[in-house]
Amino acid sequence: MPPPSRSLLWLGLVLGAVCASREPPAPGNATDPLNVLLIIVDDLRPSLGCYGNKLIRSPNIDQLASRSLLFQNAFAQQAVCAPSRVSFLTGRRPDTTRLYDFNSYWRVHAGNFSTIPQYFKENGYVTMSVGKVFHPGISSNHSDDSPYSWSVPPYHPSSEKYENTKTCRGPDGELHANLLCPVDVVDVPEGTLPDMQSTEQAIQLLGKMKTSASPFFLAVGYHKPHIPFRYPKEFQKLYPLENVSLAPDPQVPAGLPLVAYNPWMDLRQREDVQALNLSVPYGPIPADFQRKIRQSYFACVSYLDTQVGHLLSALDDLQLASSTIVALTSDHGNEVVSN
Ligand SMILES: *[C@@H]1O[C@H](CO)[C@@H](O)[C@H](O)[C@H]1NC(C)=O
Ligand SMILES: *[C@@H]1O[C@H](CO)[C@@H](O)[C@H](O)[C@H]1NC(C)=O
Ligand SMILES: *[C@@H]1O[C@H](CO)[C@@H](O)[C@H](O)[C@H]1NC(C)=O
Ligand SMILES: *[C@@H]1O[C@H](CO)[C@@H](O)[C@H](O)[C@H]1NC(C)=O
Ligand SMILES: *[C@@H]1O[C@H](CO)[C@@H](O)[C@H](O)[C@H]1NC(C)=O
Tens digits of per-residue pLDDT, 267-323?
999 999 999 998 877 788 999 999 999 999 999 999 999 999 999 999 999 999 999
pLDDT mean over 39-55: 95
Task: Choose among 299, 300, 298, 321: nearest CA to 311.
Answer: 321
pLDDT at 239 over 50: yes
Instruction: Give the mean pLDDT of the chain.
Output: 87
Lowest model confidence (mean pLDDT) among 63-72, 139-148, 316-325: 139-148
Distance of CA 212 from the midpoint of ligand 1 (Å): 14
Looking at the CA of 279, name the nearest ligand.
Answer: 5
Distance of CA 286 from the midpoint of ligand 5 (Å): 14
Tens digits of per-residue pLDDT, 190-224?
999 999 999 999 999 999 999 999 999 999 999 99
Per-residue pLDDT at 335: 46
Point out the residues that are catalytic: 81, 135
88's CB contacts (< 8 A; 6+ apart) are 77, 116, 329, 331
Cβ–ligand 2 contact at 112 (below 6 Å): yes
Per-residue pLDDT at 251: 79
Query: Measuring from atom 9 of ligand 1, which residue has the nearest CA?
Result: 29
187's CB contacts (< 8 A; 6+ apart) are 169
Percent of the chain with pLDDT over 70: 88
Tens digits of per-residue pLDDT, 9-46?
222 223 334 455 545 445 455 678 999 999 999 999 99
Looking at the CA of 171, name the nearest ligand.
Answer: 5
Distance of CA 323 from the midpoint of ligand 5 (Å): 57
Q: Which residues of 216-236 are buried (b: 16+ CB within 10 A; e: fewer)?
A: bbbbbbbbbbbbbbbbbeebb
Cβ–ligand 1 contact at 28 (below 6 Å): yes
Name residues contacting ligand 5 (CB within 6 A): 275-277
Looking at the CA of 55, name the nearest ligand.
Answer: 4
Nearest ligand 5 atom to the CA of 276 is: 13
- Distance CA(60)–CA(51), nearest Å, equals 13
**Alpha-carbon distance values, 197 to 131, 157, 202, 222, 318 (Å):** 9, 6, 9, 10, 19
6's CB contacts (< 8 A; 6+ apart) are 248, 249, 253, 338
Nearest ligand 4 atom to the CA of 55 is: 14
| Domains, the chain, with CATH or none | 6-25+32-163+186-233+304-330 (3.40.720.10)
pLDDT band with cut points at 50, 70 and 90 for residue 5: very low
